[in-house]
Chain A
Amino acid sequence: MTKYVLRRLALAVGQLVALSIVVFSLTAMLPGDAAEVRQSEHMTPEQVAALRNQLGLDRPLWTRFLEWAGAVLHGDLGQSLSSGLPVNQIIGESIGCTAVLAGVTVLLVAPLSTVLGIASAVGENGRLDRVITAVTLGLAAIPDFVLALVFVAVFALQLGWSPATWVGVTDLCTPELLALPVAVLLCRSLSLLTRQVRAGTVTVLHAGYVVQARRLGLPRRTVLLRHVLPNAAVPAVQDLARLGDNLLGGVLLVEAIFAIPGVATALITAVQQRDVPTVQGLTMVLAAFALLIHLLADLICDRLVPRTELLR
């Protein structure tokens, strides 16, 4: 088990190194650099050249990359090319909002989808199943920005229940503030997970060992909780990990509509401003998170349904 985790972590480090090279090269291939983007109409070409020199952009690509990589090994993600602020600080500020949003959404979606999915599966093709399927699929069919715009128009502007935006907000964790964006994210993700739990449960319910357990006269409750749920949850846990990873990576349209200063906004601004260290730093942190979340999901699945390959 420990060996497996160590192997996965080593692999993750390799993946991060490869990713950093890819992201660095792609950003370098974009037209223009940070000096050009910062150029104002009052600046002469000499001033732009001086700025480029000041930012170190006139040095060879590989020197810049190696310097960056060296600093990262010491925990320093460098300085933003567009503001001079430490990248660590930019990441810290933007990831807070996104983490709160993603965390609350995942905490709500996990139990909700489990309950709805099992209820659907148990009454397979019954009335409840059809209602749950219709509602969750219907919500998933509406693009998130449409939902967000409708929610803002109705709940914030018309009814005044909730603020329309996060503009100027310092305290992130108030329920009124989180309500609308979390509702949008919830509507989008609920159907996928509910469908997954339902499908998993239906498959397991028809499996030989469950049929056998029922035949042996085990209580329905015990069969569901002890035998069905752990097996049915495996694909759902993987999906939940994917969802958490997606939400952390940012949900650009939702961030844009509610003016949430989150990761997606920070990343897109950094790309537009050709702010290579910030782009690199953000992608590295997000990628590391993603790799960890998926490792965690695999470990949880192993606890639910132990498999031999992890023990090797």
Chain B
Amino acid sequence: MSERMSMDRRGFLGLTAVSALALAGCGGGHEQPRNGGRLRALFAGGGAKETLDPHAANLFIDQARHKAIFDKLTELGSDLAPVPRLAESWEVGEGATVWRIRLRDAVFHNGKKLSSEDVLYSFARILDPNSAEFTGKSNLSTLDLPNCRAIDPRTVELRLNRPNADLPTNLAALGVVIVPDGFKDPAQPVGTGPFKFGSFTAGRTFTATRFDQHWEGAPRIDELHILSADADARGNALRSGQAEYAHEVNPTFARTVAADKSAQIIVTPGCTTQAFALKTDRPPFDNPDVVLAFKLIADRQRLVDVVLAGKGQVGNDLYGKGYRYYPQDLPQRSRDPEQARSLLRKAGALNTPLTLYTSSASAGFVEAATLFAQQCGEAGVKVDVQTGPSETFWKDQLVKGEIGSHRSGAMPIPEFLNIRMLTNSPYNISAWRHADFDADFAAAQSTVDEAERAALYQKLQRRVYDKAGLLVWGHPDWLNAATPKLHGIESAPPNTLNWARFDKAWLS
């Protein structure tokens, strides 16, 4: 088998050389998209934890597999604004509490037509209290399910228990996937997605084949394999011709293949967020001057250069640089140790040692923490780095230390505010709890007018920038790799429409 694979690779190298010459001879530069072939894509695995149940999606590899088989009503564009998918269009009424969603003419893999009942069943399944780990719950929390109904087979009326003008964004969230009415056996998944399910072994393999009746047109490739592999194995497998696509590669790998041209690197600039959370419910960060002082201590460029090996952008203490609702006009905050020291002296916080709680739960955490502690030391504050177990870090960091390491993937800014910055947010990392902030958020969420809503969200973010304990120092570039013969893969932030999208890909 491997012999064949290495032959394939050699054969392909020869072929591309020949076809490149032929094309050059014809004066053409671009190849025409071709149909057929098998695409093997590698993602970081999660062992037995990997699941086929689209409503329990959590890992990237799960999401990629579910995306092949299922569709959502909406997806997020590269600016994290909603894009219609199974929902062809929508109308909002009664102060953002009633939504009418028109469904697309789509069919499931078993030949059944998509109908309003499928949508209602999917939402009921996600919200079922007996399925605690279903990830879409919080995004559907505004649904008043008993009062939602099917107007006709292709129109659903969703009624909400409070106004929510961002509902189309919530419908694109993790785990908010449309399954057929009565779907019970995730081991035999049936969806409306571009690929039909073939086989699955948790922690290892997943295969699927082209679905010709997909509403957006059939995919170009015949067969899709989504396989689990650790970072080094992903790189080696790609280079030795065992795969065509590797999700998440590190900067070292990117440098190696840039030198020998054995793979292409697909870069999505600055789409995730690296930060320190300053916990504002405890001393010394209950004093806003101290919060500002720490924001002035951070040498963001140095953190990006050292921790991210320069592959990223400098952060500005806000989440979601470049996404919809991001206030572009805020000045870049930069290092000012003099002012920081005077603020700290004024607050009497120069001589209290602090704890920065971190772990190896995410790449670069410990390195960033160590470097930042050093920068604090230079400014005259003693910060001890405490490294905890990575398995329970996400929960422990809520209680341990005055400062915590933090990272966030790509999500819409309202969702970030919702799960990190409200009094009842489960992951309120900076312990930012203010009733008026919650009220302003609710007001923004219920404002139907687009421009007005944007202004309200920006006002909230200005307050976060000025006062909250979010020290965002960098936005790492997102690096994926593919063999030179794979085409049609666009760079896109994770969790968005064009991320892990293999139905538009083709092999030369």
Contacts and interface: CB of A to CB of B under 8 A. Distances in A.
Nearest to A160: B6
B229 A162 contact: no
A168 B227 contact: yes
A100 interface: no
A167 B42 contact: yes
A40 B58 contact: yes
Query: Contact residue range for chain B?
Result: 35 or more
B243 A51 contact: no
Interface string B386-418: 000101101110000000000000000000000
A198 B69 CA distance: 60
B419 A163 contact: no
Contacts of A162: 2
B237 A164 contact: yes
A269 B47 contact: yes
Contacts of B149: none
A37 B239 contact: no
Given A43-B133, A273-B48, A259 B203 contact: no
Given A42-B135, A83-B51, A165 B229 contact: yes
B161 interface: no
Contact of B48 (A85, A160, A165, A257): A85
Interface in B37-58: 40, 42, 46-51, 58
A171 B1 contact: yes
A188 to B, nearest CB: 20
A168 B243 CA distance: 9
Contacts of B243: 167-168
B2 A174 contact: yes
Contacts of A278: 48
A17 B229 CA distance: 35
B240 A163 contact: yes
B105 to A, nearest CB: 31
A258 interface: yes
Contacts of B311: none
Interface string B125-143: 0000110110111110000
B184 to A, nearest CB: 14
Nearest to A44: B426
B362 interface: no
A63 interface: no
Contacts of B5: 163
A15 interface: no
Given A176-B3, A273-B47, A167 B229 contact: yes
Contacts of B174: 42
Given A32-B395, A54-B130, A174-B2, A42 B138 contact: yes
A275 B138 CA distance: 26
Interface in A79-104: 80, 82-83, 85, 90, 93
Interface in A232-272: 256-259, 261, 265-266, 269-270, 272
B47 A164 contact: no
B225 interface: yes
A203 to B, nearest CB: 44
B205 interface: yes
Given A32-B395, A41-B419, A83-B49, A167 B1 contact: no
Interface in A32-75: 32, 36-45, 47-48, 50-51, 53-54
B342 interface: no
A267 to B, nearest CB: 10
A93 B205 contact: no
B230 A256 contact: yes
A156 interface: yes
B339 interface: no
Nearest to B199: A170
A195 interface: no
Interface in B212-265: 225, 227-230, 232-234, 236-237, 239-243
A159 to B, nearest CB: 9
Nearest to B409: A41
B395 A36 contact: yes
Contacts of B230: 256, 259
B202 interface: yes
A177 interface: yes
Interface in A136-173: 152, 156-157, 160-165, 167-171
Given A167-B233, A266-B203, 16 more contacts: A30-B391, A37-B392, A40-B135, A42-B139, A43-B426, A54-B132, A82-B48, A157-B240, A160-B9, A167-B228, A167-B229, A167-B242, A269-B47, A269-B48, A270-B47, A278-B48
6 contacts: A41-B419, A43-B135, A51-B133, A256-B230, A256-B233, A259-B237
- Shortest 5 CB-CB distances between A and B: which pairs? A32-B392, A269-B47, A259-B233, A51-B132, A164-B240
